[in-house]
């Protein structure tokens, strides 16, 4: 890959026209705020197609994609086996409104891969998965209170849209208007990695806490890594007080290992929310856990949860093809090495340019924070120089590297990315850093 000549922002006339058209009929011109470029200024770039590690915009500019549709595309765009599986499924019907065997096949693969999951229910999005897991936890325990952590994002579930990460954080609405106070009255928000706070809250409210939900590696305030002490405290306190521990692995599931963050860490949550990769880029979500908990779900049990397109055959087929590829040709070791090279190279380049920074990384998920402070929770993430991030973002974009459009999002490397492309990215980053950003 050759580094693209520097483009100016006005060199994307077709994207500009497409955005104007979209804004007339779609709020803000986008169907999810995280893509709106609100954190970096300027206009979102409209894509025409994806090819392997690349995105190609309407004006024909190619970008090395470091987002992968915010996580799902670990195998890159239009992977031939995923395309073939989805097409074959589409040719036999888009949706049946009745069970099909692909649902069991994908569920079996999830159960086999994720040690703590004995049963799993498919949904159509990660939001639904998180929302449903909370409902089941409340139903199973007969308690109402839930604990979440500032900066974690679990989709746009009312009860969890408090101090939320991702686009809500980027665009300054971590507590969204439209969420009635009643919906969040039972949500306790704590600081990520703060064991003392966790202990204090359980001491006071332990008997009424249904569950604790967290991203076991956070991607939605930028990448934040849990300490071992924090993970141990989560497991011990939830067990002690009879609350359920829910890992939201919508982003980390099958990304950090074939089995997610919990397999990497050897952790055992009671429930897990999944999405993204298990649908191979098609709309999907899932939640699962121990049989005794999952048997609370209707029609096996009394907790209602449903979906017209849940277990959609095309999404199931794409998910099966993706997991099959990940199981048979595990990319995780290579991804870890490649992403380490990327992050070490970025850090060296930033140091040479005297730019204060931190890089957090687990496997192929990473964030370059423009701050001198170690980032391990939302407050430290917020010390970042977001104006500098914005200049870095546009400098890289104009050189053909598509990074998340917010300091408070994780970036991803895909399995089809090559070492030569990482070398090119590092050359581009050095150029951008030395341009005085």
Ligand X SMILES: N[C@H](C=O)CCC(=O)O
Ligand Y SMILES: Cc1ncc(COP(=O)(O)O)c(C=O)c1O
Residues in contact with ligand X by the rule CB under 6 A: 32, 34-35, 70-71, 153, 166-167, 220, 251, 409
In sequence order, what are the residues at sequence separation of 6 or more whose Cβ sits closer than 8 angstroms to the Cβ of residue 170?
A: 33, 34, 38, 39, 406, 407, 408, 409
In sequence order, what are the residues at sequence separation of 6 or more whose Cβ sits closer than 8 angstroms to the Cβ of residue 360?
A: 222, 223, 224, 225, 366, 367, 369, 375
DSSP bridge pairs for 411: 366
Q: With CB cut-offs between 5 and 8 Å by kind, which of ligand X, ligand Y, none does residue 395 bind?
A: none
32 versus 418: smaller Cβ distance to ligand X: 32
Cβ-defined contacts of 381-390 (< 8 Å, 24+): 381/151, 381/221, 381/222, 381/224, 381/407, 381/408, 384/222, 385/356, 386/39, 388/355, 388/437, 389/39, 389/40, 390/39, 390/40, 390/41
User: Does the annotation mark 192 as catalytic?
Assistant: no
User: Shortest Cβ distance from residue 15 to ligand X (Å)?
Assistant: 18
Catalytic residue among 57, 248, 270, 377: 248
Catalytic residue among 54, 153, 192, 247: 153
User: Does the annotation mark 258 as catalytic?
Assistant: no
- Cα four-point dihedral sign 415, 418, 421, 422: positive
Residue with tokens 């090119």: 424
Catalytic residue among 276, 287, 332, 402: 276
168 versus 323: smaller Cβ distance to ligand Y: 168
User: Does the annotation mark 248 as catalytic?
Assistant: yes
User: Shortest Cβ distance from residue 429 to ligand Y (Å)?
Assistant: 25
DSSP single-letter state for residue 175: S
Q: With CB cut-offs between 5 and 8 Å by kind, which of ligand X, ligand Y, none does residue 409 bind?
A: ligand X
User: What are the C-alpha distances in Å from 67 to residues 54, 82, 242, 357, 414?
Assistant: 10, 18, 38, 20, 9
User: Shortest Cβ distance from residue 126 to ligand X (Å)?
Assistant: 7
**Footprint of ligand Y on this chain (CB under 6 A)?**
125-127, 130, 153-155, 215, 219-220, 248, 250-251, 275, 285
Residue 378 structure tokens: 């939302």
155 versus 259: smaller Cβ distance to ligand X: 155
Cα distance between residue 187 and residue 405, in whole Å? 29
User: Shortest Cβ distance from residue 34 to ligand X (Å)?
Assistant: 4
55 versus 243: smaller Cβ distance to ligand X: 55
32 versus 291: smaller Cβ distance to ligand X: 32
Q: With CB cut-offs between 5 and 8 Å by kind, which of ligand X, ligand Y, none does residue 275 bind?
A: ligand Y
User: Shortest Cβ distance from residue 109 to ligand X (Å)?
Assistant: 22
Residue with tokens 């429930």: 271
Q: Which residues are catalytic?
A: 153, 248, 276
């Amino acid at each position: 890959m050759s580094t693209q000549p520097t483009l100016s922002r006005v060199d994307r006339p077709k994207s500009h026209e497409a955005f104007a058209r979209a804004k007339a009929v779609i709020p803000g011109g986008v169907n999810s705020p995280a893509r709106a470029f609100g954190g970096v200024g300027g206009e979102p770039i409209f894509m025409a197609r994806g090819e392997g590690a690349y995105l190609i915009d309407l004006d024909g500019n190619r970008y090395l994609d470091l987002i992968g549709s915010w996580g799902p595309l670990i195998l890159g765009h239009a992977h031939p086996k995923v395309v073939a599986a989805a097409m074959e499924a589409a040719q036999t019907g888009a949706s049946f409104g009745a069970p099909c065997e692909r649902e069991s096949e994908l569920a079996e693969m999830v159960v086999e891969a994720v040690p703590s999951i004995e049963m799993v229910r498919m949904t159509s999005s990660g939001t639904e998965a998180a929302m449903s897991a909370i409902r089941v936890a409340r139903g199973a325990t007969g308690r109402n209170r839930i604990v979440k952590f500032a900066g974690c994002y679990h989709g746009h579930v009312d009860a969890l849209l408090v101090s939320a990460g991702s686009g809500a954080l980027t665009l300054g609405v971590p507590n969204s208007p439209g969420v009635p106070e009643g919906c969040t009255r039972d949500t306790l928000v704590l600081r990520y990695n703060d064991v003392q706070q966790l202990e204090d809250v359980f001491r006071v409210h332990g008997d009424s806490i249904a569950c604790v939900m967290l991203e076991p590696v956070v991607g939605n305030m930028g990448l934040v890594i849990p300490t071992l002490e924090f993970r141990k405290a989560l497991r011990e306190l939830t067990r002690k007080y009879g609350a359920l521990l829910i890992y939201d692995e919508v982003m980390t599931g099958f990304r950090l290992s074939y089995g997610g963050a919990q397999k990497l860490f050897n952790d055992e949550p009671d429930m897990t929310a999944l999405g993204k990769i298990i649908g191979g880029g098609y709309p999907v979500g899932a939640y699962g856990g121990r049989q005794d908990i999952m048997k609370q779900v209707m029609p096996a049990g009394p907790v209602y949860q449903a979906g017209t397109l849940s277990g959609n055959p095309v999404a199931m087929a794409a998910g099966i093809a993706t997991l099959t590829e990940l199981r048979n040709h595990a990319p995780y070791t290579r991804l870890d090495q490649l992403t380490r090279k990327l992050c070490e190279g970025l850090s060296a380049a930033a140091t040479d340019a005297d730019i204060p920074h931190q890089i957090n990384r687990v496997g192929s998920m990473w964030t370059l924070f423009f701050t001198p402070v170690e980032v391990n929770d939302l407050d430290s993430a917020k010390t970042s120089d977001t104006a500098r991030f914005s200049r870095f973002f546009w400098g890289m974009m104009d050189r053909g590297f598509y990074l998340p459009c917010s300091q408070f999002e994780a970036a991803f490397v895909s399995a089809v990315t090559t070492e030569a492309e990482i070398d090119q990215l590092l050359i581009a980053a050095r150029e951008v850093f030395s341009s005085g950003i």
